[in-house]
Amino acid sequence: MRILKDFKLPNFKFPKIKMKGISEIDEVKVDYETLKKAEENNKKAEKIKHYPPTTYKTIKEVFIRSSEEYADKEFILEKFDPKGEFKEITYRQFNKDVVGFGTSLLRKLKLKNEKIIIIGQNTYQWYVSYMALLCSGIIAVPTDKELPENEIQNIIERSNAAAVIFAPKELDKIKKIVDKVPDVKYFIQMYSNDSIEDRFVGMNYLIEEGNAIVEDGDTEFLDVEIDPDEFKVLLFTSGTTAKSKGVMLCNRNLAENINAVSAYVILKPEDRLFSVLPLHHTYESTIGFLLPMATGSSIAVCQGLKYIVPNLQETHPTALLAVPILIETLYRKINASIKKSKKEGLVNSMIHVTNALKTVGVDIKRKVFAEIHENLGGSLRIIVSAAAPIDAKIGKWVQDIGIMFLQGYGLTETAPIAALTPEFEPKVGSAGKPVISAKAKVYNPNENGEGEILLCTPTLMLGYYEDEEATNEAIEIIDGERWFHSGDIGYIDKDGFIYITGRSKNVIVTQNGKNIYPEEIELLLSKIPEIKECMVYGKPDERDKNNKELIISVKVIPNYEYIEEEYKKKLDEKEIHDLIWGKVKEVNKQLTSYKAIKYMEIKKDEFVKTTTMKIKRYEELKKDNK
Find the mean pLDDT for residues 158-183.
Answer: 97
pLDDT in tens, 555-581: 999 999 899 989 888 899 999 999 999
Q: Does residue 386 have a pLDDT over 60?
A: yes
184-198 as b/e: b if 16+ CB within 10 A: bebbbbbebeeeeee
Find the mean pLDDT for residues 78-101.
Answer: 96
Between 28 and 625, the more confident residue is: 625
∠ CA(476), CA(1), CA(553), 5° rounding? 85
pLDDT at site 398: 96
The number of C-alpha atoms within 13 Å of 588 and in the hemisphere containing its C-beta is 16
- Give which of 459, 412, 439, 455 is closest to 250, Cα–Cα: 459
pLDDT at site 242: 47
pLDDT in tens, 261-306: 999 999 999 999 999 999 999 999 999 999 999 999 999 999 988 8
- pTM of the full structure: 0.84
pLDDT in tens, 506-536: 878 766 556 787 888 998 999 999 999 999 9
> pLDDT-derived band of residue 139, with 50, 70 and 90 as boundaries?
very high
Q: Does residue 145 have a pLDDT over 70?
A: yes
Q: Does residue 158 have a pLDDT over 80?
A: yes
- Give which of 171, 149, 129, 188 is closest to 2, Cα–Cα: 149
Least confidently predicted of 425-429, 481-485, 540-544: 540-544
pLDDT at site 98: 98
pLDDT at site 45: 47
Between 316 and 526, the more confident residue is: 316
> pLDDT-derived band of residue 129, with 50, 70 and 90 as boundaries?
very high
Find the mean pLDDT for residues 312-335.
Answer: 92
pLDDT at site 372: 93
> Rounded to an integer, what is the distance from CA 179 to the centroid of its chain?
35
Q: Does residue 109 have a pLDDT over 60?
A: yes
Amino acid code (one letter) for 288:
G
Between 354 and 119, the more confident residue is: 119
Among residues of the chain, what percentage have pLDDT more than 70?
90
d(CA 427, CA 494): 13
Spelled out in words, what is the top-level CATH class assigned to the domain 59-225?
A: alpha beta
> pLDDT-derived band of residue 26, with 50, 70 and 90 as boundaries?
low
Backbone angles phi, psi at 597, to 5 degrees: -80, 130
Length of the chain counted residue by residue? 626
pLDDT at site 468: 95
Spelled out in words, what is the top-level CATH class assigned to the domain 507-625?
A: alpha beta
Question: How close are the terminal C-alpha atoms of the chain, in Å?
Answer: 20
Find the mean pLDDT for residues 322-342.
Answer: 88
- Give which of 473, 466, 463, 596 is closest to 525, Cα–Cα: 596
**Residue 369: in which H helix or E strand, if any?**
none
Between 370 and 507, the more confident residue is: 370
> pLDDT-derived band of residue 609, with 50, 70 and 90 as boundaries?
confident
d(CA 607, CA 616): 8
- Please spell the DSSP secondary structure of 457-476, one letter per residue: -TT--SEETT-HHHHHHHEE
Q: Where are the domains of the chain?
A: 59-225, 507-625
